[in-house]
A and B are shown apart, each in its own frame.
Chain A
Amino acid sequence: MKWRYFKQTVFFGIVRLSSLIIVLALGGILFYIVINGVGVINWDFIAKPPTDSMTKGGIMPAILGTLYLTSGAIAVGLPLGIVSAIYLTEYAKQGRIIRIIKVGINCLAGVPSVVFGLFGLGFFVVLMKFGSSILAGSLTLGFLILPTIIGAAEEALKSVPQTFREASLSLGVSKWQTTLRIVLPNAMPGILTGSILGIGRAAGETAPIMFTAATFFTAKLPSSIFDEVMALPYHIYVLATAGTNIEATRPIQYGTVLVLVAVVLGIDLSAIIIRGYMRKNKRW
């Protein structure tokens, strides 16, 4: 009896310890970033471009660039992902081909982001002649988050009760109208929350935009989707590895990391808030 109790205590201890390590690691990283980065954060840092070989000034073009690229990725990934998921869950005859497609999508989710970057370079930048641009970067990031969005949308569509579909179809409403008017609106909260997590990832990725959209430095803001932009993750990479004054830019590096983490956490937080709000209104 005592032995069993002892075993239980040990195992619970291990489980608690594991959770603690995760929380401590995350908390440690965030804490470290905040205390090192918060010093440089002020209005000029957010609203001004870099100056003096990036050792002074702000990171406004990079913030804006990340915003553009992320919005572009949403504009590409969300519609494509939702339509694919609708096909997979509502229309396709479940069978071997669909299983293969789903395995393919899962594999796509596991492809390293640098491979997406190279694909973007080869296909959008060179072959399609978009050049290194917001357009090429958005498309690359859009494809990067596509598997996440398809997965989220599939789950959300499947969670819409079958009885809603039956009720609509039994009224003599066509399948397409049923999908559009009943299934999709009820799946939307789930699709959005799942997708926002993918969007957070798009905002934070460096490799896919390295070859397709991001530039080392530009003081002017992009005037069209065919312009290159600065972006937060790439800016961090540049400052930390390729700058002329790596030591002198240290505080700016931390500041930029802090802003990027804040942007990604902000996106995730909005997902949580939206989900909470939608759940409150969901009643089936």
Chain B
Amino acid sequence: MDPNAIINMYNVNFYYGQSRALTDITMSIKKKNVTALIGPSGCGKSTFLRLLNRMNDLIDGTRVEGEILFEGKNIYASDIDPVEIRRKIGMVFQKPNPFPKTIYNNIAYGPKLTGADNNDLDTLVERSLRQAVLWDEVKDILNKSAMNLSGGQQQRLCIARALAMKPDILLMDEPTSALDPISTAKIEELIEELKKDYTIIIVTHNMQQAARISDETAFFYLGNLVEYNKTEKIFTNPDVKHTEDYITGRFG
């Protein structure tokens, strides 16, 4: 077991009812790294991501085989509460999904309900918004509805909201696919910054984005992990022909 790994998974299979969405995945994810998951639509990368914070539990008829160890513990063990797992493994979704609440309450929502000290909420909100590089834009409108923010600001708000829970890992499911290029660039800079403190796993359809921001890249195809390597290696000299074909746009 790699001492730098935060997640180790062994022979993981995942099923929606009868159909298998992920086949025999074994991989480990390094701490305080950005790991990009790439592959054509329907290849299982989002399923894979949602496996890690047990969001797939919400779908009826799903089933997991194998072991996913987070800090040495199997997160699918029967004595593990998925709610606890999600506090440590945060998530940012494809479309910005702030709550129809004020900016302040969007951030404070999670910590308040999971028993954070109320006296420190102000500090926590500011800290989280600063980390998401949104503070300067919203510090005067904290009591305005988050729905008034632009798409890019909303997405950074969602990142701040996840960070307020002080997670160890941040899962991002195509966080920039609904955003314009400038907002995308801001989020990418932010990811650079965040990886000092957090482990980031990001699904992306954008090859350049994966190449720009990630340290490791995993290529999924039809539910299989085809290749998993240093990003530089994947994009310059992949081991598998299939990976090269996908990256160079010959299929996908």
Asked if A170 contacts B99 (CB within 8 A), the reply is: no
* Total interface residues in chain B, CB < 8 Å: 28
Given contacts A174-B83, A181-B113, contact A167 B60 (CB under 8 A): no
Is the CB of A280 closer than 8 A to any CB of chain B?
A: no
Asked if B55 contacts A181 (CB within 8 A), the reply is: no
The residues in B between 83 and 116 inclusive whose CB is less than 8 angstroms from any CB of A are 83-88, 90-91, 93, 95, 97-100, 109-110, 113-114
Is the CB of A87 closer than 8 A to any CB of chain B?
A: no
A283-B101 Cα distance, complex, nearest whole Å: 11
A-contact 0/1 string along B145-158, CB 8 Å cutoff: 10100000000001
Sample (17) of A-B pairs whose CB atoms are under 8 Å apart: A93-B60, A166-B55, A167-B99, A167-B161, A170-B55, A170-B90, A170-B93, A170-B162, A171-B87, A171-B165, A172-B87, A173-B109, A173-B113, A181-B113, A283-B147, A284-B100, A284-B147
Instruction: With a 10 A CB-CB cut-off, give which of A161, A164, A171, A283 has the most chain B CB atoms.
Output: A171
A-contact 0/1 string along B18-62, CB 8 Å cutoff: 000000000000000000000000000000000001010010100
Question: Shortest CB–CB separation between residue A27 and chain B, in angstroms?
Answer: 40
Supplied contacts A167-B97, A171-B162, 8 more A-B pairs, CB within 8 Å: A164-B99, A164-B100, A167-B99, A170-B53, A171-B109, A172-B84, A177-B113, A182-B99
Q: Which residues from B are CB-within-8-Å of A167?
A: 93, 97-99, 158, 161
Residue of A nearest to B53 (CB): A170
Residue of A nearest to B158 (CB): A167
Is the CB of A19 closer than 8 A to any CB of chain B?
A: no
Question: Shortest CB–CB separation between residue A161 and chain B, in angstroms?
Answer: 8
A170-B86 Cα distance, complex, nearest whole Å: 6
Count of inter-chain pairs, beta carbons less than 8 A? 68
Residue of A nearest to B114 (CB): A172
Question: Shortest CB–CB separation between residue A280 and chain B, in angstroms?
Answer: 13
Closest 4 pairs (CB-CB, A-B): A172-B87, A171-B110, A172-B86, A170-B91
Asked if A169 contacts B100 (CB within 8 A), the reply is: no
Instruction: With a 10 A CB-CB cut-off, give which of A167, A170, A282 has the most chain B CB atoms.
Output: A170
The residues in B between 149 and 178 inclusive whose CB is less than 8 angstroms from any CB of A are 158, 161-162, 165
Q: Which residues from A are CB-within-8-Å of B113?
A: 173, 177, 181
Question: Shortest CB–CB separation between residue B38 and chain A, in angstroms?
Answer: 22
Cβ-defined partner of A169 (8 Å) among B55, B88, B165:
B55
Q: Which residues from A are CB-within-8-Å of B85?
A: 172
Is the CB of A148 closer than 8 A to any CB of chain B?
A: no
Residue of A nearest to B146 (CB): A283
A-contact 0/1 string along B109-149, CB 8 Å cutoff: 11001100000000000000000000000000000010100
A186-B162 Cα distance, complex, nearest whole Å: 21
A-contact 0/1 string along B64-91, CB 8 Å cutoff: 0000000000000000000111111011
A265-B168 Cα distance, complex, nearest whole Å: 57
Q: Which residues from A are CB-within-8-Å of B55?
A: 166, 169-170
A135-B145 Cα distance, complex, nearest whole Å: 43
The residues in A between 147 and 200 inclusive whose CB is less than 8 angstroms from any CB of B are 161, 163-174, 177, 181-182, 186
The residues in A between 10 and 66 inclusive whose CB is less than 8 angstroms from any CB of B are none
Q: Which residues from B are CB-within-8-Å of A169?
A: 55, 58, 83, 86
Asked if B99 contacts A172 (CB within 8 A), the reply is: no
Q: Which residues from B are CB-within-8-Å of A166?
A: 55, 58, 93, 97
A163-B97 Cα distance, complex, nearest whole Å: 6
A171-B110 Cα distance, complex, nearest whole Å: 6
A93-B110 Cα distance, complex, nearest whole Å: 26
A74-B123 Cα distance, complex, nearest whole Å: 43
Asked if A171 contacts B99 (CB within 8 A), the reply is: no
Q: Which residues from A are CB-within-8-Å of B109?
A: 168, 171, 173, 181
Q: Which residues from A are CB-within-8-Å of B83?
A: 169, 172-174
Is the CB of A224 closer than 8 A to any CB of chain B?
A: no
Is the CB of A94 closer than 8 A to any CB of chain B?
A: yes
A163-B173 Cα distance, complex, nearest whole Å: 13
Q: Which residues from A are CB-within-8-Å of B58?
A: 165-166, 169
The residues in A between 243 and 284 inclusive whose CB is less than 8 angstroms from any CB of B are 282-284
Q: Which residues from A are CB-within-8-Å of B110?
A: 171-173
Residue of A nearest to B161 (CB): A171
Q: Which residues from A are CB-within-8-Å of B114?
A: 171-173
A94-B12 Cα distance, complex, nearest whole Å: 27
Asked if A163 contacts B95 (CB within 8 A), the reply is: yes
B-contact 0/1 string along A63-103, CB 8 Å cutoff: 00000000000000000000000000000011000000000
A94-B55 Cα distance, complex, nearest whole Å: 18
Question: Shortest CB–CB separation between residue B143 and chain A, in angstroms?
Answer: 15
Q: Which residues from A are CB-within-8-Å of B100?
A: 164, 186, 282-284
Q: Which residues from B are CB-within-8-Å of A164?
A: 97, 99-100
